[in-house]
A and B are shown apart, each in its own frame.
Chain A
Amino acid sequence: MHSMTNTRPRLTVNGLYKQFLLHGQGGLEIDVMRDLSLTLQAGECLVLAGRSGIGKSTLLKMLYGDYRIDQGRIRLHFDDGDLDLEALPTYAWHGLRRDVIGYVSQFLRVVPRVAAVDVVMEPLLARGADEAESRRRAETLLARLNLPERLWRLPPGTFSGGEQQRVNIARGFIGEHPLLLLDEPTASLDAANRDVVIALIGEAKARGTAMLGIFHDEDVRERVADRLLPLDGSLGGLSNASQTCRESLS
C-alpha cells in the first residue's frame, strides 16, 4: 500500500442519512441510508461492499452533490482547513467538481455532436489549460485504453457500451482530481482494458489520490482495494429502495 506522509484523512463522513420522499406515490418515504460513516486517506482506494442493488451509488452521488444530504456531515480535509460539503453553497459546487472531486459514472452522458477526444479534454479546458496540451493528454489516455484512433473525432453517441465507458474513464482520470469517485468503471470492459483501468487506479494512488469505488468484479476488487467498507448495515434491509425510487422518478 501507498506510504502515507500524512495521517490526516482526506475525507471524513459522519452519520449520513438519506431518504427519498415520493409525492407522486402518495408521499411514500423510502429510507435508503442510515448512519453511514467512513474515513478515507490520501492514496487509498476504499471499496464499497454490499449486496447488489442496495444503493451503493447513492453514497457516491451524495459525495458528488447529485443527491442532497438529509442529515450528517461530509468533510474534506486540506492542509489549511476543512470544507463541509453539506454546508457548501450551491454556486461553490461547480468549482469543487472542477478542481477537487472527480466522478466516473457507469454511463456516459453524451453531449450531441461533441467528439470523443473533446469530451475527454473538457475537464482540463474548464481549468483554463492549454488546448493543444489538453488534446495531447486526452489522446494519450484514449490510446492507452485501446480506443481505436478512427473513433477519436466522432461523437460517442453511437459507440458500443464498452467504448463509451472508456471515453468516460479517460474523462474521469484526465483531471487528476485529489478525490475520485468510481462507479463500476470496469463493468463492460474486456480483460485487457480492465487491466488498464487497474493500472490507472494504481498510478492515481501513487499520486496521492483518494478513491472511493464500487466494483462488482471480484478480481478487480481484490486488485485495487486497500480496504472494504461493508454497507449492509447502513444500506441493507432497505430492499432495493434506491433503485425503486430512481425508476419511479425517471
Chain B
Amino acid sequence: MKKPVLERPVLLDVQGITRLYGPAKGCEAIDFQLHAGEVLGIVGESGSGKSTLLRVLAGLEAPDAGRVVYRRSSGEPEAARSDVHEPDTARRGGTQALGGDPQANAEAELDLYAIGEARRRALLRLEWGLVHQNPRDGLRMGVSAGANIGERLMAQGQRHYGQLRATGQAWMGQVELDPGRIDDAPRTFSGGMQQRLQIARTLVTRPRLVFMDEPTGGLDVSVQARLLDMLRTLVRSLGLSVVLVTHDLAVARLLAHRLMVMRRGQVVETGLTDQILDDPQHEYTQLLVSSVLTP
C-alpha cells in the first residue's frame, strides 16, 4: 500500500493580523494558513474578535498591521474550473478586471491590502465569496431572485439572458428553492429561503474561497438543520475552501475540519475539530466546551 498524498497547497496565508478598536477589542497578532479544500472554523463568544478577523480576511476592513496573502496558483489549475457556465470570454473578462494586465493573472501571490481597492474588489467578486449572517446584507432585496443569482455571473462577463436565467433556475433547485419563484423579490421569501438564496448567489461563480459569518445564526433550529446539510453537500461537491465564523460549537462540529478558538482578540487554541471539542487543552476552551447545553 502506498503512502497517501496528504500535502495540500496553502491558499490563504495570514501573517500577524492586528485590528484593534481598543484594548482587547478586535483581533491581535493572528497567524494561520488555510490549505486548499479545508474548512476552518473560528469559534469564540461575542466580542472575541472573530467577526473583526473575518472582515479583515474577507477584504472588507484593512488591518492595523499584518498581511493577508492569497496564493492563487494553489489548488486546481484555472482551466479545470472553467467547466461551469463560464465561457472563455467570461474568464478573460475576469482576468482583465483583475488588473487589466495579462501579467497580473500569472502572479502567484496577492497581498490583499497591497493590491489596491479596484483589484481587491474584483478579487472578492470573481474568485472569493462571502456569506453574511443576515441575508439582507448579501442580497439586493428589491430585485428578483434570478437577478440576485445572475449578478456575479454578469460581473464575470456573461450577458446571455437565457443562459443566466437557466443557471439561476438550476441554482435555485440546488439550494432547494422553487425555481418557479425566480422572478420574485427576496423580500417575499422567509429568512431561511433568503439565506439559501444568498448562498446560491455567492456560489454560482464557483469561488475558490468562501467566507461565512454565522451562516445559520438568525434561523430557526429546524431551518438550521436543513441549511447545514446543504452547506456540507456543497462544500464537498464543489471542493470549497472555507473560513467559517460561528459561536455554535455544534455547527462547527458538523462543518469544520479544524478550529481556531478566539478569546479577547487572540487565538488561545487551534487543532482538529474533534481534538478541540473532545480533548480541549486551554482553560478557556475547556470552559467553552463544558458550557454547551445538550438536550
A residues whose Cβ falls under 8 Å from a Cβ of B? 10, 20-24, 42, 61, 64-68, 78-81, 83, 88, 90-96, 99-100, 109, 111-114, 125-126, 178, 248-250
Contact = CB atoms under 8 A, between A and B. Distances in A.
A82 to B, nearest CB: 8
B226 A113 contact: yes
B286 A24 contact: yes
Nearest to B221: A112
Contacts of B254: 111
Interface string B279-290: 111110011011
Contact of B290 (A61, A93, A125, A248): A248
A180 to B, nearest CB: 14
B102 to A, nearest CB: 33
B228 interface: yes
A65 B236 contact: no
Given A23-B282, A23-B287, A249-B280, 5 more contacts: A24-B287, A91-B35, A92-B8, A93-B272, A96-B4
A95 B226 contact: no
Contacts of A22: 286
A68 B271 contact: yes
A114 B232 CA distance: 11
B131 to A, nearest CB: 20
Contact of A178 (B1, B270, B275): B1
A78 B5 contact: no
Interface in B262-283: 270-272, 274-275, 278-283
A64 B258 CA distance: 14
Interface residues of B, number: 37
Given A111-B254, A112-B228, A125-B236, A79 B274 contact: no
Contact of A80 (B2, B253, B275, B289): B2
A23 B229 contact: no
A79 B2 contact: yes
Interface residues of B, dominant DSSP: mixed
A66 B274 contact: yes
A111 B271 contact: no
A94 to B, nearest CB: 5
A66 B236 contact: no
B79 interface: no
A79 B286 contact: no
Contacts of B289: 249-250
B229 A99 contact: no
Contacts of A64: 274
Contact of B279 (A24, A68, A90, A93): A68
Most buried by A among B4, B8, B254: B4
Nearest to A24: B286
B257 interface: yes
B4 A91 contact: no
Interface string B1-12: 111111110000
A69 to B, nearest CB: 10
A112 B225 contact: yes
B47 to A, nearest CB: 21
Contact of B1 (A21, A79, A94): A79
Contacts of A126: 236
Interface string B87-102: 0000000000000000
Interface string B230-255: 00100010000000000000000110
Contacts of B290: 24, 248-250
B28 interface: no
